[in-house]
Amino acid sequence: MERELIIVVDFGGQYNQLIARRVRDLNVYCEVVPFDKALERAKKDKPKGIIFTGGPASVYAACAPSVEKEIFELGIPVLGICYGAQLMAHLLGGKVKSPDFKEYGKIEYDVKCGSKLFQGIEGKNICWMSHRDYISQLPAGFEITATTQMCPVAAMEMADKNIYGLQFHPEVTHTQRGNDILRNFLYGICKVKGDWTMGSYLAEQLPLIKKTAAGKKVLCGLSGGVDSSVAAVMVHRAIGDNLICVFVDHGLLRKNEGDEVEKFFKDAYKMNFIRVNAGPRFLKKLAGVSDPEQKRKIIGAEFIAVFDEEAQKLGQVDCLLQGTIYPDVIESGSGHSAVIKSHHNVGGLPKDIKFQLLEPLRLLFKDEVRRLGEELEIPRELVWRQPFPGPGLAVRCLGEITEDKLKIIRESDAILRQEIAKHKLEYTIWQYFTFLPNIRSVGVMGDERTYFHTVGIRAVTSSDAMTADWARIPYEILEKISSRIVSEVESVNRVIYDITSKPPATIEWE
């Protein structure tokens, strides 16, 4: 199926995938392309538009990421954002400088003239700035379309060539009218129609899955989380009983989770479902391991080992189905972006893997996966289930993992989930869980001194897991949760609440 395409050129910034997310929110398909492949991809696929992202470099640095100047001569509309705008100015004959001042955070910008990019947006608005350099001199043929108090070129354009630059970040929610700016570029300048929906994606993918997996046995590593569940239901619809779901209970799940997963897929969906109780095996492999990256790679390798054993029992198995999604790929160091953390289904796979990988969700963000689940008519309680990492509680237990520590996390997490549901907050908070930060502290319980564990609570609001803010849970609810955890969970005398956003933190602690 032919669909409209926008290319998002990656220059290494951490907002890059957020740009892609916003474009897709506007019903336009886009793909992120490394800067050194941008011209080749643009010539080959003839996209409706090109967006240059931000990045941490200076355009004058020796190894600064760049593109060939020819990309501006293809007749394809280009929008440069932050570093992308500076690079545009630099390549086209303007000048970029490092000023004495820096602009970070919310800044007022003023639209100076009529522009297709600012159609319907007039006067002063708030934008999100994050830059060290700035455009000090326009390239020939450009005009300034917006300024800030400290930045003379907050926006520029060469309208007759459909080339536009923004020093600020329209993709960030703090930028007022940011979505309108992107919509103006996509619909007003690139002239897209907007044909990207999860309904169209499903209609496209089902025949592809049937073709790819025709006559093959597909083994699914089913965790019961949103991603693997949607992937399993999607592939099951395409190939039926040729899908075999192997649920590895690695002993790192939440309270009663294993039984719930088995009941749903084995009884409700009537899938070929195999449960492997491998908890002791995983704990043995993880004994004495404290480094979070090592934990992830051990778990990933052990998952594959279990799958390999199950595949041998089943006979010939050709494909491995995974619920890998875009943020997994991004945070594991896709393209030229920095590695945030390795995901067991991306960075932990052995090079000699014996299966053909089937990853139908690899280019989708989390909320796109949820919408796809709704298209598949999966029950709401599963589609909107809490995100849960593949390594499970291993990344919520800092330091060495023991069964006693896991019990504390399971019991405290169950209390947290009960209270969140009781107060009807389960669909307003993106993700919430307890973790064990490997801290013991002094306390007084029953007139006796204690030296027990500290339990942490993490709860965030988000739309795509790329950025997140801490959830403002009412104090009285937090008080109840804390009281119950200390009273009902053995060896805990203190509860803390993480109030850090992402960035600078990640959602998980490891």
Positions annotated as catalytic residues are 82, 169, 171
User: Phi/psi at 128 (nearest 5 deg)?
Assistant: -110, 115
Which DSSP string corresponds to 375-414?
HTT--HHHHTPPP--TTGGGGSB-SS--HHHHHHHHHHHH
Terminal Cα-to-Cα distance of the chain (whole angstroms): 40
Q: Which residues, 6+ apart, have CB-to-CB distance to 214 below 8 Å?
A: none
What angle separates helix 366-375 from helix 198-212, to the nearest 10 degrees?
Answer: 80
Q: Which amino acid is at 288?
A: G
Q: Is residue 59 a contact partner of residue 90, using CB atoms and an 8 Å limit? A: yes
Q: Is residue 105 a contact partner of residue 65, using CB atoms and an 8 Å limit? A: no
Instruction: Kindly state the helix (H) or strand (E) to which residue 195 belongs, with its residue range.
Output: none
Q: Is residue 234 a contact partner of residue 198, using CB atoms and an 8 Å limit? A: no
**Pair of tokens at residue 45:** 């696929």
In angstroms, what is the C-alpha Rg of the chain?
25
Please tell me the distance from the alpha carbon of residue 388 to that of residue 2, in angstroms, as a whole number.
34
Please tell me the distance from the alpha carbon of residue 78 to that of residue 302, in angstroms, as a whole number.
45
Report the candidate in 357, 376, 346 with the shortest Cα–Cα distance to residue 230. Answer: 376
Length of the chain as a residue count: 510
467 CB neighbour count, 10 Å cutoff: 21
